[in-house]
Amino acid sequence: MDRLNNERGFMLLNVIFLTLITSFAAMILMNALPRVKNPQSVLRLTAIHLANEQLAMIESKAAEGELNLNYLGKPEDLTTENFSENIPITFNVTSTDKPNGNLHDVTVKVEWTVDGRENFIELERTIRVVPKE
Amino acid sequence: MFRKNSGGFVFAEFAIALPLLILLGCGLATVSLKLFDVGKNQLADYVLEEEVHDVLSRIIYDARAARKVTAIKGSPTLTFNYRMIGASSGSNLTTNEDIRVYWRVNDKIYYEHQTYIARNPITGNNYFGETKVTKFEFEKVNKVLHVTLELESEITHHKIKISTAVYMPSYEN
């Protein structure tokens, strides 16, 4: 104890340097965290526009008098290579309907799988079926 | 050189702690440079994503209210016509035409209001990531407009291609 008393300066310096290093490491890790958390934003965006397409097709069919819940968009739009390193991602589109007279609450669900993880989005729109004359 | 009573502490400080410190510093510098690079690429990708989404959602909202659409494929031009109700003069309302144009010129898409002069680019020119348009296609079937847009980032050379469709309820044949 008595001999360490002479080395107060070095010990103080160690404390300062170690704190600096630790805080730098923490800053770097905190910077990397949101990148790890949100890896699939582009596929999500593609899925939103795919759901929009399906809703538009259902609307156009509904204006002619029938509600068709099958996939009505272009089949090639179901596959995308956006940011997926040449591995095509396939989307699965399903539509469900809650009728309320002429008005139908149509929910379109788009599902896709990346690295064994399943993701989905759901979009809803109220669509009026125009009765046939 | 060393004082008798220091017991090797000073020697240990310089021989062990200083090289360790330098090594750690180099490691941290490498990691942070890598992270800056990743961050730069990711910002460019966000810009790419944002621009394609911005253009497509503008087209969707403009198309849903349009009375007429003219699509020219040669130099891709998409024109939406609207019937606007102006200020009333006396007892009758005046209606006038409004035109909005999406126009691809070279690597950019321009959005113009009432004019055919390309002045207002809505893609490219972003400080965080330059982009260029590689495909802008559309097809109108009855009252549905299909749009395909492909953008490429000049920094990461990633491509993003999104197709969508809009139903135009007030379209007049």
State yes or no: pLDDT of B7 exceeds 70. Answer: no
| CA A97 – CA B153 distance, rounded (Å) | 39
Asked casually if ipTM beats, i.e. exceeds, 0.90, the reply is no
What is the domain partition of chain A in residue ranges?
4-37, 41-128
Half-sphere exposure of A53 (CA within 13 A, CB side): 25
Predicted pLDDT of residue B10: 73
Contacts of B28 in chain A (CB under 8 A): 21, 24-25, 28
What integer is the mean pLDDT of A109-127?
Answer: 91
The residue in chain A having the minimum alpha-carbon distance to the alpha carbon of residue B143 is: A60
Question: What's the pLDDT tens digit per position in B144-154?
Answer: 999 999 999 99
Buried b / exposed e over A8-38, threshold 16 CB at 10 Å, is eebeeeeeebeeebeebeeeeeeeeeeeeee
Question: What's the pLDDT tens digit per position in A24-67?
Answer: 888 877 877 766 666 678 899 999 999 999 999 999 999 888 88
User: For chain B, what is the mean pLDDT?
Assistant: 85
The residue in chain A having the minimum alpha-carbon distance to the alpha carbon of residue B31 is: A28
Nearest to A6 among B5, B17, B56 (CB): B5
**Selected residue with higher pLDDT from A26 and B7:** A26
State yes or no: pLDDT of B39 exceeds 60. Answer: yes
State yes or no: pLDDT of B2 exceeds 60. Answer: no
The whole-angstrom distance between B109's CA and the closest CA on chain A is 19
B32, B167, B171, B172: which to substitute to probe chain A, counting the most A Cβ within 10 Å?
Answer: B167
The whole-angstrom distance between A118's CA and the closest CA on chain B is 21
Predicted pLDDT of residue A42: 87
Asked if B159 lies within 8 A of A82 by C-beta distance, the reply is: yes
Structure-token match 């097809």, residue found:
B139
State yes or no: pLDDT of A75 exceeds 80. Answer: yes
Predicted pLDDT of residue B170: 83
Predicted pLDDT of residue B5: 57
Token pair listed for A120: 């989905």
Between A52-56, B19-23, B159-163, the lowest mean confidence (pLDDT) is in B19-23
